[in-house]
Structure 1
């Protein structure tokens, strides 16, 4: 977003050039001559800077300051960097002020690490409130640009408090702070609801907006109470506009619903699973009139049916190929829709949403947890197929954004190859070779025990339920008994309600992510679960997950606009804690769980969005 230069000038004194006027001559005749106006030349920042470079002393400094302020107005960030560098090296200027301007220019050029490094050096030199405000504002913007909201808001809070105390114009900051707070879920807002009156005012305003969005009467009452509690608060200037925007968000009224699913061929069973979830949710939540359309129909036939029905909302298709086909024909261009998968094309509609049971969400959760626990060297093991390779690649791409350590990676071709890969990755084979060499040196029997490598501190398994049950014991027996136990994690692919009916002992200690619907203690609809088990006792794991997906798709419809407006707002569903990003993608946060000898128990594991590598402080120690 382009930054308005007015919000960056910190009330420093500005130098100005003198203007000249032409004298007016009066003749004897009573004739009035109009004065000729002289157009004063307006110099660009580049021209002023070039003139400064050929000057010396005070003239040079004066022109550098003029070119600096002009570059700020023109938003010529590269030139601003050069000017500020020259001013700092001159040692005849306010180096704190110019370093702040320099950090701004670096931020605008996406040189975030360099900008932060400069700002860190100023921490003990910020004696002016204007300087401190500027320092906190730019620091917060750097973290916000990386979507590190929790790191950004403390800087914004301190800038807001400084602006309030010293009468600094903080219009740009206020809007930015509000945007960041709306990204945080209500649970996080409640945890940080402390500190100064300014901070609590901001947080409570964000909380009220989330809690009462879609309920105009309660929202109006809450906002009035907020105004009485926080008079003259920095957020007050935009309060009427916020209320107007939030109250204008009306939920979708669902009377007619069209659902596009496969009703024939090899995908008929998975289409039926989604259909059962949609029917169950409609029966419980809204009793909408539902019309099902076969996704195998021609585009023309589907279009004709939709025009005839005139639905309020559309769910589907389920298969990515069908989504692309329908989007190309623009059948759904004028209808709000939830596509039950991702699309190959970019979303250009504010009323189109994408709901996919994507395993990549689980990888992100695992990485956020690993880095929160300060694990440094993961070991990844996956099947040698397209899915395994895709997920490993996704994990590595995400991991390398936050760590310089390269994870250890292995692929197994089949069941027989599993043990070999485990021994290779843990370097147990190398230990055995060393033992055999020592045995050859001694005639007497040598007491020995193999050693596994000690730099691996966490293991992540990618595989289905049967593969995971074979792999877990191999790690148990090949990790040295005198080494620290390495925690093992897996994705939801490792969990199966059908396979879990047998003994769980082999998986004891394994952590995994799963949708709440598939967990004994995690689902929020126990009565629905009991009814499902009674009606469809033989449903497979995939069918159960798709049932939950269909159910959540209907449940989300009345709240889609609210979730889209406030990215921090979440809804608990059968498939996880649901939110929507700015691309209309429905994001799932799954539940952590752990295997015990005879049971599975849900876990609350720590997750924090990590700081990108280029923003992390460098270690200068030898």
Structure 2
């Protein structure tokens, strides 16, 4: 009875034959004490990329009959072909078996590349990265560079991905613009702080790519300004590969020039009930930035159902809707969007509708603030999203619904702030970070985001300490710095020798920075305690904090307690950083006692109306940014605006803006 050889059996037989030959050639009359045989060097046969019509199984058959040197080549090529055939398990099996043989350096590189490629296709990006890190060669292949870029993209390391793609486009120029287009798309997707880090590298053509991006980014969405900047760029970079993209960019600029004007704006805000103060603060920001070029209609989302509001909008036929704000209103609004809609050609003109008092009310509930804090990630649970005939700028991220093609959303996610801080600080040379975070939902999300980003960028895990409220907070900080253990050792030594030992408690020295997630009151207690518990034998540990630690109404004593802390916040809350100092001074005069929390919402109102005439442009050309009062806004491919915050530092009695990126 004959046994049919399966591909897996052929693989095992091939490797068994190879191992037998190698072991036999190593054999000697006497037993060697070494438990692992030393294989002889194999005459290297260069590994050429297999042809597209080659068959992986056919190469396995050849490997059984070939010499050792040639068999290894066939096996390497079959591993590559199994990837093309989407049989990634077989490819990995061959690569794993080959890794046990004495491959030449070039063969070993090819084998690891096959392994990394198969792992990437299986979604095992971290394992693929580990294999790529083992590859060392001065002339990387086209497949290796592309794979490095793809793996880094999936690991959320866009800067590293861009560096790989830059080498790919430079070393392997092609008539196809696909690689250049993907490279530029990735550059335009970066946040400003990521672009700053990228600009520090000295890589072929990088300066020109960044200059092309900036020519568009700084245009304020003005088509004429973009055309002028592109003309200048062409004169400056006459041999740059990015020139091949100019025709497509120019076409998009022309489309921008033909966009309809915005005549009517509807704003959906909670202007009554327990969120009244929040809604009125955003409304005040919108009106402060209003230039009188459109008619604005405010609709209270707390006095009627969303279905009735949609009917009002259908009668009003606005060009753009701002809002809703509250998350459940956002989901209801998106859910009610018709599957098919047509745009009325005659917009209904009307006066400004605003009978709401803009004077802030005394107090606002904390849970009301939480409900508008963008605390949930954007999900895609509704695959059939309808569309309204007008554009919409949502003031919160949806929870259950998806964002449509003509819809946009402002993200105020605290995770964005933590990610920016981790990225920026990791580029400052810090290696061993500690996060001290308040023990609540937002604190944990920020801490985990910071830790994940830090580990991705540096390869180092960090310590996270969640401190409770009250007296236990200080003991948690003391324990995290290992000062408590030092105190205990001193106490034990004193008891042992029965004398009063003069000794200083020593703090741990493996930490080189602390990221603090705390509100202003907690930060005021934690920061001095960190200073007190740093022993005189250790250098002071720099402390960085989130915007939650900044309360601009804090007294001089509070600022003195926070002296030296560097933090992120919206430009509106950093002295001298506002984009419109006249507007800022007027707001301070009208509402001198407005809290930091309300000031951030007021700034969001300013930004929301200033973004309206840039929505389509920022979608067409992702390079375009908007430098607003809540941060520098950038639109992603999902229609979500993410912001980059400014940096500032607590001095003895004041706060000053600083450059960190």
TM range, smaller chain = 0.7 to 0.9
Counting only pairs closer than 5 Å after superposition, residues 109-508 of structure 1 correspond to structure 2 as 109-112=122-125, 115-116=128-129, 119=132, 123-124=136-137, 126=139, 132-164=141-173, 171-184=177-190, 188=195, 192=199, 198-199=205-206, 201-212=208-219, 214-220=221-227, 223=230, 234-249=241-256, 253-283=261-291, 287-296=293-302, 297-330=304-337, 333-334=387-388, 335-345=390-400, 347-402=402-457, 403-414=459-470, 416-442=471-497, 444-500=499-555, 504-508=559-563
Match of 1:545 in 2: 600
Match of 1:108 in 2: 121
Distance 1:597 1:230 in 2: 48
Deviation (angstroms), 1:351: 2.3
- Given the superposition, is the C-alpha separation of residues 392 and 122 from structure 1 closer, same or farther in structure 2, using an over 3 Å criterion? closer
Q: Quick check: 462-471 or 422-431, which moved more?
A: 422-431
Distance 1:231 1:379 in 2: 48
Distance 1:515 1:93 in 2: 53
Distance 1:290 1:368 in 2: 40
Q: What are structure 2's unaligned runs of at least 5 residues?
A: 1-46, 339-385
- Given the superposition, is the C-alpha separation of residues 100 and 542 from structure 1 closer, same or farther in structure 2, using an over 3 Å criterion? closer
Match of 1:619 in 2: none
Deviations for 1:602-621, whole angstroms, at most 9, x for unmatched residues?
12225xxxxxxxxxxxxxxx
Deviation (angstroms), 1:65: 8.5
Deviation (angstroms), 1:326: 1.9
Distance 1:288 1:362 in 2: 33
Deviation (angstroms), 1:305: 0.8
Distance 2:566 2:197 in 1: 28
- Given the superposition, is the C-alpha separation of residues 44 and 299 from structure 1 closer, same or farther in structure 2, using an over 3 Å criterion? farther
Distance 1:93 1:49 in 2: 22
Distance 1:457 1:122 in 2: 32
Q: What are structure 1's unaligned runs of at least 5 residues?
A: 1-10, 17-42, 607-622
Asked whether the equivalents of residues 510 and 594 of structure 1 are also in contact (C-alpha less than 8 Å), the reply is: yes
SS in 2 for 1:248: helix
Asked whether the equivalents of residues 45 and 68 of structure 1 are also in contact (C-alpha less than 8 Å), the reply is: no
Deviation (angstroms), 1:248: 1.8
Distance 1:444 1:67 in 2: 76
SS in 2 for 1:347: coil
SS in 1 for 2:172: helix
Q: Give the aligned CA root-mean-square deviation in angstroms.
A: 3.8
SS in 2 for 1:448: coil
SS in 2 for 1:454: coil
Deviation (angstroms), 1:592: 1.4
Match of 1:22 in 2: none
Deviations for 1:339-392, whole angstroms, at most 9, x for unmatched residues?
112221353413222214332222222322342234344443344444444444
Equivalent pairs, count: 560
Deviation (angstroms), 1:411: 1.7
TM-score by structure 1 length?
0.78
Q: Quick check: 206-215 or 497-506, which moved more?
A: 206-215
Distance 1:62 1:433 in 2: 64
2:647 to 592, 596, 604: 592
Distance 1:136 1:243 in 2: 30
- Given the superposition, is the C-alpha separation of residues 390 and 587 from structure 1 closer, same or farther in structure 2, using an over 3 Å criterion? same
Asked whether the equivalents of residues 353 and 586 of structure 1 are also in contact (C-alpha less than 8 Å), the reply is: yes
Distance 1:578 1:541 in 2: 20
- Given the superposition, is the C-alpha separation of residues 162 and 483 from structure 1 closer, same or farther in structure 2, using an over 3 Å criterion? closer
Q: Quick check: 206-215 or 528-537, which moved more?
A: 206-215
Asked whether the equivalents of residues 347 and 583 of structure 1 are also in contact (C-alpha less than 8 Å), the reply is: no
Deviations for 1:38-94, whole angstroms, at most 9, x for unmatched residues?
xxxxx8946545654665459978976986786565455555555677889697998
- Given the superposition, is the C-alpha separation of residues 226 and 118 from structure 1 closer, same or farther in structure 2, using an over 3 Å criterion? same
- Given the superposition, is the C-alpha separation of residues 197 and 217 from structure 1 closer, same or farther in structure 2, using an over 3 Å criterion? farther
Q: Quick check: 196-205 or 370-379, which moved more?
A: 196-205
Deviation (angstroms), 1:546: 0.7
Distance 1:113 1:461 in 2: 29
Deviations for 1:453-499, whole angstroms, at most 9, x for unmatched residues?
33333223322222222222222222212321112222212211222
Asked whether the equivalents of residues 592 and 604 of structure 1 are also in contact (C-alpha less than 8 Å), the reply is: yes
Deviation (angstroms), 1:536: 1.7
Asked whether the equivalents of residues 324 and 345 of structure 1 are also in contact (C-alpha less than 8 Å), the reply is: yes
